[in-house]
A and B are shown apart, each in its own frame.
Chain A
Amino acid sequence: MSTLNNPLLEAKGITKYFGTITALENVDLKVHAGECLGVVGDNGAGKSTLMKVLSGLYKPSSGSLYFQGKEKILESPKDSQNLGLEMVYQDLALAGNLPIGENIFLGREPTKNVGFLKFLDFNRIKELTNAHLGKLKINVKSSDQKVEELSGGQRQAVAIARSTAFNAKVVIMDEPTAALAIKEVGKVLDLINSLKKTGVGVIVISHRMDDIFSVCDRVMALFQGTNFAESELSNTSRDEVIGWIMGKK
């Protein structure tokens, strides 16, 4: 763990209004390379809003983002992708009608030039997909399988594979195990641990203490749109974190 180094991603004083509603107020967050930060909070605490700010889907009303020490303004998900900030959404954000490989490369498909025309390079997609799935030890029957034919855990694995296919530096996951059968949760958590080992900074938003306590190094709690508490995992307990979620210290 490298908490002593500069953070990979840092958000300072993020505030987000929706009309008269204050979704986030002066929220700070940081994550280091190879570290997993758990973000907890009750429904409406602002977790998902914070994540959408980090992904460039929402523009913060005020506050700033620093990536590798430099201030960055994210106009769209494309900007955050270009930095190496990747999201794994709760609703998975996969197109069920497309095969695994095309989902992983959706929006960033490799192409080959034929004269002045650009065609999709299906061989390369397949090659890269198999190599990448192999690296993450994700087992599927074939990368040509459509995503809608996969189980919930396999879909989550594809979503995570998708987020890491382009040299991701930080991967942000919203409730990565919420939709999964119990036997699939372990596999996804293993996947998160192996991501950390490759030096990726991981932010996990979760309700499940089991998730937080099996993969995270640090945990922070949001309460009513503000920073409520934060601690190294080794210095806290499940009961204390559950208390934070309910607004008790």
Chain B
Amino acid sequence: MEEKDNKKDSIYLKLMPYIEKYGILLLLVLMILVMHILQPDVFLSWRNVTNVFKQISWQSMLALGVFMVIVTAGIDLSVGSIMMLSLMVLAIVAKAGAPWFIVVITPLIAGFLCGLFNGAGITLLRMPHPFIMTLGTLYIFRGTGNLISGGTPISGFTDEVRYLGHGRIDLTWLGLEKSQYLPVSLVLIAVVYIIFWFFLNHSRTGKWIYAIGGNPSAARASGINVNKILIIVYSLCGFLSGIGALILAGRTDSGYPNAGLQSELDAIAACIIGGASFFGGRGTVLGVFAGVMIMGILRNGLNLMDVSSFWQQVLIGSIIVIAVYIDVLRRDLGTRK
């Protein structure tokens, strides 16, 4: 055939996977460098780095859940409300004097059930789009959280309950100082992300999640039970929001009505910045992590430089638009017409 065409193709074929996989990491490294140059004394200090990880800890759970949903070409607007409801359930159970091992699983169960409700609504009630179902449950779950708690904060948890969000892993045995500890939440992020990376890339169900996002009718024709997979995805998204609630409970030592307000938008933004495509079927776990980190570092860096939070909003918004434009360009390059 046309030799020139072939040559052009082969360059795309060689480069595209790498750009798709690692382009976002490049951006992250670049940002870290810029912040380091702007704030050489503070930004890469132990204290500040662990601080960034503590700040992004619960958002990273919501983002991972929303990411899986976005891969199926869906959306979950209710993750912030799921987290708040799970947090309130946890607070109430804790206040009722339940032992800590009961308290720590309640938000996970509550989150899972909320996600199951979303998934069942989207598939069994045949909602025209997940946007509508999860917009509804965004209100329903937060309202329920306020109803069961009376709309007031509930504070004071035991150390065991707070461990994942607030615990510290001592590193003095490595010859480090007492202040140079590892937040437990950082370890948790790593463990959860690695598990979900394996799940999405190396299990059949994970592959089918991508296939549904790529072409739902192809998935159906291949004998994949699309509704079942969607219910699993939304349930896992709720479960991850429940983990987010557990982390937040540790960090703030409190269940409060405004927990996770608008955090669904942060979660979606992190996915989009990280290269997940709203058309479904595209995006990586590593990308989501980079997306969460980019938003966390941006906020942290701008705070360090004492930039107004209004500018933070403008910058994050701009990054979303630019990231999606890059996605559009990438689709033009990667797809034959």
A141 to B204, CA, bound (A): 25
State which of A15-23, A63-71, A90-98 sits at the interface with chain B. A90-98
**Cα distance A142–B9 when bound, in Å?**
12
Q: Is the Cβ of B204 less than 8 Å from the Cβ of A77?
A: no
Q: Is there an interface contact between A81 and B218, defined as CB atoms closer than 8 Å?
A: no
Q: Select the residue from B207, B282, B335 with max chain A CB neighbours within 10 A.
A: B207
Given contacts A109-B207, A118-B203, A150-B336, contact A96 B223 (CB under 8 A): no
In the complex, whether B208 has a CB less than 8 A from a CB of chain A is yes
Min CB gap A159→B, angstroms: 9
Is the Cβ of A96 less than 8 Å from the Cβ of B10? no
Contacting pair B213 A97 (CB below 8 A): yes
Pair B13/A95 contact, Cβ less than 8 Å = no
Would you call A240 an interface residue if the criterion is a C-beta within 8 Å of the partner chain's C-beta atoms? no
Contact with B along A77-108 (1 / 0, CB 8 A): 11001000001010111111110001100111
Interface size band for B:
20 to 34
Residues from chain B with Cβ under 8 Å of A107 in the complex: 208, 219, 222-224
B215: Cβ under 8 A from any A Cβ: yes
Task: Tell me the bound Cα distance from A117 to B204 in angstroms.
Answer: 11
Q: Classify the interface of chain B: helix, strand, loop or mixed.
A: helix
When distances are taken between beta carbons in the complex, the residues of chain A under 8 Å from B207 are 98, 102, 106, 109, 120
Is B210 part of the binding interface, using a Cβ–Cβ cutoff of 8 Å? yes
Q: Give Cα A157–Cα B10 distance, bound, in whole angstroms.
A: 20
Contact A95-B281, Cβ < 8 Å, known A111-B204, A120-B202 = yes
Chain B contacts of A146 at CB under 8 A?
334
Beta-carbon contact of A149 and B219 below 8 Å: no
Q: How far is the CB of B6 from chain A (nearest CB, A)?
A: 9
Name which of B218, B220, B280 has the most chain A CB atoms within 10 A of its CB.
B218
With A87-B221, A106-B218, A149-B13 in contact, is A96–B335 under 8 Å at CB?
yes
15 contacts between A and B (CB under 8 A): A77-B221, A87-B221, A93-B215, A94-B215, A95-B219, A97-B210, A97-B282, A107-B222, A108-B222, A108-B223, A109-B207, A120-B202, A142-B13, A149-B9, A149-B335
Nearest first, the 3 closest Cβ-Cβ pairs linking A and B are A95-B214, A107-B222, A97-B281
- Partner-A contacts on B (CB < 8 A): 9-10, 12-13, 198, 202-204, 207-208, 210-211, 213-215, 217-224, 280-282, 334-336
